[in-house]
Amino acid sequence: MDDAISTLRQWIEESENIVFFGGAGVSTESGIPDFRSTDGLYSQKYAYPPETILSHTFFMKQPEEFYRFYRDKMVALDAQPNAAHRRLAEWERQGKLKAVITQNIDGLHQRAGSEKVLELHGSTLRNYCMNCKKPSGIEAVTASEGVPRCNCGGIIRPDVVLYEEGLDSSVIQESVKYISKADVLIVGGTSLVVYPAAGLVDYYGGSKLVLINKGATHLDSRAALHINGKIGEVLSAV
Ligand code: NAD
């Protein structure tokens, strides 16, 4: 592990075109559970699996139940950015890192100071009325009970990509652009099983693919550097 961290440190020092691609594991050290760790949401017992509750069909049919789970498990306003979020923001300020591409919906990269953040799955912090399209902040969800409603009577929904819904094509295109031009691509805190997001890493054509994860992924054998550890701890040590 020490050798891998030294190599990563050298690559970071030398590069001015680093791109980071991450997922829920980036925020577990901030206290937000991921889906697939042993203490993640898949191991907790609900009437339905998270991916059913967080689907378009479920939202349309049972918005009350959706919002009960969503407020309880997906909205984490007290969570603070951790060492991984802060380190990535620092590299951007130093002109080394060009973009953070995230599957997360918690807004913690921006809170840490990152500016170029491509949110593949949207953000819990943005919401809008399904009827009149009026945008609202997170308070529309946190300060209400049951299904939040707009003044016009429409249902307010989160600006997040639910299962069965398509990703924003401009965010995908921009992500492809950054990944395909990257010198160093760091992939961290993601099981790489949620598509199409996970497929974006295939656009990387360089020789410095770094994988930092607590568990195994299908990319392990392709990575030039594979660090099995907690991403906040690893990035602080670089
Ligand atoms: P996932 O739960 O499928 O996988 C998380 C991966 O990160 C696992 O392989 C786990 O071993 C690893 N991990 C956990 N903690 C880690 C740490 N401290 N350091 C390094 N690795 C760590 O998450 P995913 O791949 O992002 O896919 C799940 C989907 O659910 C995504 O779409 C994501 O947006 C969404 N989600 C988001 C949040 C959030 O916004 N914080 C939380 C839960 C789920």
Tell me: do 1 and 60 sit in the same domain.
Answer: no
8 CA from centroid of ligand 1 (Å): 22
Mutate to test the pocket of ligand 1, among 26, 34, 195 (most ligand atoms within 8 A of CB): 34
Assess contact for 227 and 208: CB atoms under 8 A: no
38 CA from centroid of ligand 1 (Å): 11
CATH number of the domain that 177 lies in? 3.40.50.1220
Question: Which ligand 1 atom minimizes the distance to the CA of 104?
Answer: 40
CATH number of the domain that 56 lies in? 3.30.1600.10
Which residues have CB under 6 Å of ligand 1? 23-25, 27-29, 32, 34-37, 40, 103-106, 121, 188-191, 193-194, 212-215, 230-231
Q: Is 92 exposed, middle or buried (0-12, 13-18, 19+ CB in 10 A)?
A: buried
Tell me: do 115 and 190 sit in the same domain.
Answer: yes
Question: Which ligand 1 atom minimizes the distance to the CA of 230?
Answer: 19
Tell me: do 222 and 129 sit in the same domain.
Answer: no
Domain span at residue 62 reads 33-75+125-160
- Mean pLDDT taken over the chain: 95
pLDDT attached to residue 43 = 66
Tell me: do 170 and 67 sit in the same domain.
Answer: no
Tell me: do 27 and 42 sit in the same domain.
Answer: no
- Measuring from atom 18 of ligand 1, which residue has the nearest CA? 230
Tell me: do 117 and 226 sit in the same domain.
Answer: yes
Q: In the chain, how many domains are there?
A: 2
In Å, what is the CA distance from 9 to each residue of 6, 97, 184, 215?
5, 13, 12, 22
Last residue of a domain, one of 137, 160, 183: 160
Tell me: do 137 and 191 sit in the same domain.
Answer: no
Catalytic residue among 56, 121, 218, 226: 121
Tell me: do 115 and 134 sit in the same domain.
Answer: no
- Measuring from atom 36 of ligand 1, which residue has the nearest CA? 24
Strand partners, 101: 21, 118
Contacts 24+ apart (CB under 8 A), 173-179: 174/99, 174/118, 175/21, 175/99, 175/101, 175/118, 175/120, 175/200, 176/200, 176/203, 178/19, 178/98, 178/99, 178/101, 178/118, 179/19, 179/21, 179/101, 179/203, 179/204
Pairing of strands 18-22, 184-188: parallel
Tell me: do 185 and 210 sit in the same domain.
Answer: yes
183-216 tens-digit pLDDT: 999 999 999 999 999 999 999 999 999 999 998 9
Assess contact for 23 and 108: CB atoms under 8 A: no
- Measuring from atom 26 of ligand 1, which residue has the nearest CA? 23
Last residue of a domain, one of 104, 137, 160: 160
Residue type, 62: Q
- Measuring from atom 17 of ligand 1, which residue has the nearest CA? 230
34 CA from centroid of ligand 1 (Å): 4
pLDDT attached to residue 38 = 62
Tell me: do 219 and 202 sit in the same domain.
Answer: yes
Tell me: do 67 and 87 sit in the same domain.
Answer: no
Whole-model pTM? 0.95
Distance CA 27, CA 179 (A): 22
Pair of tokens at residue 49: 């699996």
Q: Is 226 a catalytic residue?
A: no
Tell me: do 141 and 98 sit in the same domain.
Answer: no
128-173 tens-digit pLDDT: 999 999 999 999 999 999 999 999 999 999 999 999 999 999 999 9
Other CB atoms within 10 Å distance of the CB of residue 169: 8
